[in-house]
Amino acid sequence: MAEIDYCTLAEVEAYAGINFSDGMGPSDSEIATMISTASRLMDAFGGKQFAGTETKTEYHDTSYGLAFLILNTRPVVSITTIHTIASDGAETLLDNGRIRNDDDYYLSDADAGIIRFHYAFTEQVACRLKVIYVAGAAAPPTDVKIATILHVVRSAARAALNDENCMERVKEMWKTLLADSEKEYGQMLERVKRRADVAVAAFGQFDMPTSIGYVRGD
């Protein structure tokens, strides 16, 4: 997944109430570097990349009574295709839709990455299902964006305070901003950390195989 920045220079300036091009702190290019660094730090805190999309391919086993899958990368934007793979390697395309007896599966919960089938599988076969899908988000959640902005602002403040050429009145402004943002920054980081992925449970396995328990095309 391509890495993207979670805020812009303009958003950092709007929060800080300054224009970096006026010599109020680090240069625009230095702020750009800080934004990229802060964005990757948010990923590290959350244990995942919060924005950006990519196409994923996964292979899943089937088992007796299997009626759903949980995809590994979430949120899911869309399901591209699902195929069953026969013992000779032949692939059969499954139908995506919510019409029972006509379609095979549908995306039940995009955030949790849950795909549900309209029937249960009745055999345990390794790597029987090939799933191609698009996952990710176009933009980071609001709390992740705010945490990124705050981190950049605080990094800029420390850089300005350590700059011997920075005017004292400017340093006082950064000192105040650094102190004022400490509590909010801590609160936003805690929210980011709570966004780490957790195990997903899904219910819906059939107790007994049904007359339509075998995937069409097998």
Is residue 104 domain-shared with residue 155, that is, in the same domain?
no
Is residue 131 domain-shared with residue 97, that is, in the same domain?
yes
Is residue 30 domain-shared with residue 60, that is, in the same domain?
no
DSSP 95-149: PBSS-TTT--EEEEETTTTEEEESS---S-EEEEEEEEEEEEESS--HHHHHHHH
Is the pLDDT confidence value at 57 over 60? yes
The reply to whether 107 falls in a domain is: yes
DSSP 33-50: HHHHHHHHHHHHHHTS--
Strand partners, 14: none
In this predicted model, what pLDDT tens digit does every residue of 194-214 receive, in sequence order? 988 766 666 555 444 444 444
**Listed residue (109, 39, 116) closest to 75, CA to CA:** 109
pTM: 0.72
Alpha-carbon span 199 to 104, nearest angstrom: 25
Alpha-carbon span 93 to 85, nearest angstrom: 9
Overall number of domains in the chain: 2
Domain of residue 57: give its range: 52-137
Is residue 101 domain-shared with residue 116, that is, in the same domain?
yes
Q: What is the pLDDT of residue 194?
A: 94
In this predicted model, what pLDDT tens digit does every residue of 147-203 receive, in sequence order? 999 999 999 999 999 999 999 999 999 999 999 999 999 999 999 999 887 666 665
